[in-house]
């Protein structure tokens, strides 16, 4: 049921649907007794909204992907022994995984 998936009461969903129909000045539903079916306008509206929501989902995914690729500058300072014998492979893997992060290395004794 729509009200359950929205976490709203049936009365709240019903009021919101009526308000939407009034705002659009069109009947989206045929109401007969306890049954509710879409009108032709309702089917068209649902179809167009479905397409828009799919596009919105795609845009959200693109933004998530763009923001999941960290970028910037990371400065590392460590003894050269640690770099050569412990972190060399880790740092190389990091650079492959996050190519948009510029590393500045400073190694000392």
Mapped to the 3 state alphabet, what secondary structure does the chain carry?
Answer: CHHHHHCCCHHHHHHHHHHHHHHHCCCCEEEECCEEEECHHHHHHHHHHHHHHHHHHHHHHHHHHHHCCCCEEEEEEEEHHHHHHHHHHHHHHHHHHCCCEEEEEEEEC
Please tell me the predicted confidence (pLDDT) of residue 109: 66
Residue ranges of the chain with per-residue pLDDT less than 50 = none
Please tell me the predicted confidence (pLDDT) of residue 1: 67
Question: The pTM is what?
Answer: 0.52
């Amino acid at each position: 049921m729509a009200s359950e998936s929205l976490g709203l009461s049936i009365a709240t969903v019903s009021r919101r649907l009526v308000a939407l129909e009034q705002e659009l000045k069109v009947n989206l539903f045929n109401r007969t007794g306890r049954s509710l079916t879409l009108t032709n306008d309702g089917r068209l509206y649902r179809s167009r909204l479905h397409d828009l929501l799919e596009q919105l989902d795609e845009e959200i995914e693109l933004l998530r992907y763009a923001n999941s690729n960290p970028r910037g500058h990371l400065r590392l300072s460590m003894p050269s022994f640690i770099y050569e014998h412990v972190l060399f492979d880790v740092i190389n893997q990091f650079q492959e995984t996050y190519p948009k992060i510029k590393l500045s290395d400073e190694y000392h004794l």
